[in-house]
Amino acid sequence: MIWGSELWILSAVPERKSCCTDTGQTIDELLREQGAQLMGEHLYARFGDTFPLLIKFIEANDDLSVQVHPADELARKYGHPWGKTEMWYALPSKPGAQIFCGLKQPLTPEEYKRKVDDKTILDAVAQFEVNDGDCFFIPAGRIHAIGSGCRVCEIQQTSDLTYRIYDYDRRDKNGNARELHTELAAECINYEDYKQSALRSRYTDISCPLPTANCLFSCAYFTTNILRLNDTLPRDYSALDSFVCLVILEGEGTIEEMGRDGSVNSQAFNEGDLLLLPATTQNVTLHGTLRALEVYIDQ
């Protein structure tokens, strides 16, 4: 049974590396060739030849597993290079679809284990009906799950590390129960993660060229802005020491960049595309009608 589908549009995870449509290179091949020119000086010093972001589209055909992710320090304790902090930007979903995110009230480790044993852990998790454009920040340690009928764009650290807490007693195609990671999850859960005001983001969704007006989240692992465009929008990246990802959620158009020799390079884009702009990019102009996520790292 297929419980959900994922489209990994930018990935440096070894088993699922993305390829650049322009050159045919994988993202790590591109990074080894361009280094700091692609990544940015401070990011290349921080991450080396590992591209630090994973971006995907997720569509849940059923309630997906309840899970939690470790922070970097705990991940490294168990031999993994990075933990996982992520965010979700909700796309048009089925009426009544829900996101599970954070706790309803403080929880103790003993209460957590008891609720896992008696299969009532979801009773402790906050639930939100999903609307198009809703945003949820999922720092390491926050219990979360995507409900049936949800469609989201997920932006996260380059890590496929997940601790599964509850999976509705489902079986795989061979009739085996999927593995749970109860003890590992217990070690990384934030048991005080219950402040409802911090669980879903409120932001101003307007057409505006200033990223501070449209910022969804900014943390050490990514900054994500929402861009809406009905005509032309210039973007100045000259002061940014980072690559920029433009995830086209809706619409189509072109992006133009002025070369140092005065030439203009233009590229068309459509819904579902991801444009990866190297850190050497100075200024671009977007033309068309679109809704897009603009993602980079500036901390």
- Look up residue 149 and give its DSSP letter: T
Tokens of 131: 């609307």
- Look up residue 178 and give its DSSP letter: P
Asked whether 299 and 223 are in contact (CB, 8 A), the reply is yes
Asked whether 276 and 258 are in contact (CB, 8 A), the reply is no
Asked whether 90 and 150 are in contact (CB, 8 A), the reply is yes
Alpha-helix runs per DSSP H in the chain: 27-34, 36-39, 41-47, 72-77, 109-117, 182-188
Catalytic residue among 114, 142, 151, 164: 164
Residue 129 pairs in a beta bridge with 98
Active site residue 164: yes
d(CA 143, CA 123): 12
Nearest to 241 by CA among 49, 44, 40, 46: 40
Nearest to 219 by CA among 102, 135, 137: 137
Q: Give catalytic residues, as residue numbers.
A: 164
